[in-house]
Amino acid sequence: KFWRSLASDPGFSRRFRAHHRRNPPLIGCLVYDFCQVRFQPTLERPNRVPQSRFPFPIAAGGRFRILGCRHGLVLIFHDSQKQLLVWDPVTRDQHSLDIPPGFNKKTLMNAAVRRAIGDFHHFQVVLVGNSDMQCTQAVASVYSSSTRVWDKLISTPLPSENSGAPTMVYPGMPAVMVGDSFYWLLCGNSQGILEFDLDKQSLALIPMPMGNTADMRDGNIWVMLAEGGGLGFVFLRGFLVQLWKRRTSCKGVASWLLGRTVELDKLLSLNLEKQIECPRILGFAEVNNVVLLWTLTGIFTVQFELLHFKKVLESKHWYSYYPFEGVYTAGMNYFLKMQHGVYLPI
pLDDT tens digit sequence for 197-211: 999 999 999 998 865
Residue 276 lies in a domain: no
- Closest by CA to 90, choosing from 135, 55, 47, is 55
In the three-class reduction of DSSP (H, G, I as helix; E, B as strand; rest coil), residue 113 is classed as: strand
pLDDT tens digit sequence for 96-150: 999 999 998 888 899 999 988 777 789 999 999 999 888 889 999 999 999 999 9
On the question of pLDDT at 92 being above 50, the answer is yes
Q: For residue 156, what pLDDT band results from cuts at 50, 70 and 90?
A: very high
Are residues 85 and 75 in contact, defined by beta-carbon separation less than 8 angstroms?
yes
Question: C-alpha 143: how far from its chain's center?
Answer: 18
Long-range contacts of 270-275 (CB under 8 A, 24+ apart): 270/239, 270/295, 270/297, 272/239, 275/239
Residue 33 lies in a domain: no
Q: For residue 331, what pLDDT band results from cuts at 50, 70 and 90?
A: very low
At residue 334, the pLDDT reads: 43
Sheet order of strands, 334-339 included: 327-329, 334-339, 342-345
Residue 286 lies in a domain: no
Distance CA 322, CA 326 (A): 13
pLDDT tens digit sequence for 178-195: 999 999 999 877 779 999
At residue 80, the pLDDT reads: 78
Strands 240-248 and 73-78, bridge-based pairing = unpaired
User: What is the number of domains present in the chain?
Assistant: 1
Q: What is the mean pLDDT of residues 59-79?
A: 89
On the question of pLDDT at 174 being above 70, the answer is yes
Q: What is the CB neighbour count within 10 angstroms for residue 42?
A: 21
Residue 166 lies in a domain: yes
Residue 101 lies in a domain: yes
Are residues 185 and 193 in contact, defined by beta-carbon separation less than 8 angstroms?
yes
Domain that holds residue 91: 57-212
| Residue of higher predicted confidence among 277 and 323 | 323
- The CA angle 232-238-242, to the nearest 5 degrees, is 25
At residue 335, the pLDDT reads: 47
pLDDT tens digit sequence for 253-283: 899 999 999 999 999 988 777 777 889 999 9
Residue 335 lies in a domain: no
CA dihedral for 156, 99, 188, 243, sign (positive or negative): positive
Residue 125 lies in a domain: yes
- Closest by CA to 319, choosing from 39, 24, 108, is 39
At residue 59, the pLDDT reads: 80
Mean pLDDT of the chain: 85
- Closest by CA to 68, choosing from 214, 158, 170, is 170
Q: For residue 1, what pLDDT band results from cuts at 50, 70 and 90?
A: confident
pTM of the predicted structure, to 2 decimals: 0.86
Distance CA 40, CA 317 (A): 14
Range name among 9-23, 218-232, 301-315 with the lowest pLDDT average: 9-23
Best-predicted range by mean pLDDT among 31-35, 51-55, 139-143, 266-270?
Answer: 139-143
On the question of pLDDT at 70 being above 70, the answer is yes
pLDDT tens digit sequence for 219-229: 589 999 998 88
- Closest by CA to 223, choosing from 267, 286, 166, is 286
On the question of pLDDT at 48 being above 90, the answer is no
Residue 34 lies in a domain: no
